[in-house]
Structure 1
């Protein structure tokens, strides 16, 4: 099926921007705000409409997510929903007011819910500081119905979590199988919104992030101690 022509002004700016990215820029390639202005002369907030595509599953990275990019560069990483098709370009409630943003930040404790880092904190082993933002998480409820919920994530975790869904129904089913002690323990962690991890658990989490060569070194060290 042939795609609509991106220069067709009747489509609306966001749909035209999506078609421009697909047909002119191409996945994996870099563009700038000036490129957007040149492609859409006289169109107000064209760059904003490009950013709006992220709410439809499009991955468009800036130097916050990709350190190789310049300050004014963006990379079209992956196409999301074909917003130019009927019914695919609208999503109710996609804009987040500043009041709602503050509410979500306060509710989530002003730290990334995925990794726990605080705003401005430096990622371990780097000189990069964390920035927090609102992420929309698809949550699959019991019965299969999907909802979109807001959560605070840092720039690293937000990029890595795009396109993923949480199966709340499966989690609730797992809770039903817990014994009394396990349920009380989990309830305590949730009530405190904090859990201390053991040394072994921290080592396991760090091990999972290592390249294969380093993982092999860990396995060798453990075998040598047996």
Structure 2
């Protein structure tokens, strides 16, 4: 089937936006909100129509997913369903509705399940505030089957964890290798759904974030001549 032009007025706005990404922007390339609006000057909600493409498997990143992008930039990462073809503009069954999004965040305590940060809370050592969203995580079940689960993550963890896979069997095996005391401690952490890091663990994490010259200063302080 011949691909139509993004300028075809007989197509809906979302289909034309998809074609504009393919024909004008190109996969892997970035574009600005101004460029998008200039291409569709008569469409008041063109940003929303383009976001709708994510429900059809299109990946369009903002600076929440790609920290190298500016506030008004987006990146066309990957094409999804060719929505301009007959029968293709049917929403994927795993699209996340606003109601489902609220349910997942409530279930997860409105905290990032990867690092525990709350929305609006500043990351340690910075003035950057966390934003929470829903991420899809591939989970390998004990029976060997794989499913995609929805999880609340912050903007930083979503970028770093996009290619991670959760292996339940591996986690269970690790638990079974713990001693009785360690298992008891883990049960407590799970019951509270949180854990407090000791001063030693916090210092280790802080040390690992330091540049090499600063780490050398710490090593010298621990081993005075």
TM interval, short-chain normalised: 0.7 to 0.9
Greater Cα radius of gyration, structure 1 or 2: 2
The offset of 1:83, in angstroms, is 3.6
Q: Counterparts of 2:17 and 2:219 in 1: how far apart (Å)? A: 49
Instruction: Look up the match of 1:139.
Output: 139
Change (3 A) 1:103 1:68: closer
The CA deviation at 1:192 is: 1.0
Q: CA-to-partner distance for each residue in 1:132-159, whole Å, 9 max, x for gaps?
A: 2222222222344222222222222223
2:200 aligned with 1:183, yes or no? no
CA contact (8 A) 1:8 1:16 kept: yes
Gaps of 5+ in 1: none
Supply the distance in 2 between the matched residues of 1:148 and 1:63 (Cα, whole angstroms): 21
Q: 1:46-100 deviations in whole A, cap 9, x for unaligned?
A: 5335335556473512378648624xx1231x7246544999x9631312232x3
Provide the rounded CA distance (Å) in 2 between the counterparts of 1:159 and 1:211: 22
| Conserved? CA contact 1:15–1:83, under 8 Å | no
Measured in 1, the distance between the counterparts of 2:48 and 2:146 equals 27
Match of 2:92 in 1: 91
The answer for the alignment partner of 1:79 in structure 2 is 77
Contact kept, 8 Å, 1:51 with 1:60, in 2: the verdict is: no
In structure 1, what is the equivalent of residue 197 of structure 2? 197
Alignment CA distance shift 1:44-1:19 (3 Å): same
- Match of 1:149, SS state, is strand
Closer, same or farther in 2 for the Cα pair 1:23/1:183, shift >3 Å?
A: farther
When residues 221 and 23 of structure 1 are mapped into structure 2, their CA distance, relative to the original with a 3 A threshold, is: farther
Tell me the residue number matched to 1:7.
6
**What is the alpha-carbon root mean square deviation over aligned residues?**
3.8
Mapped to 1, the partners of 2:142 and 2:157 lie a distance apart of 26
8 Å CA contact 1:6–1:17 kept in 2: the answer is: no
User: Retained in 2: the 8 A contact 1:57–1:163?
Assistant: no
* 1:150 partner SS: strand
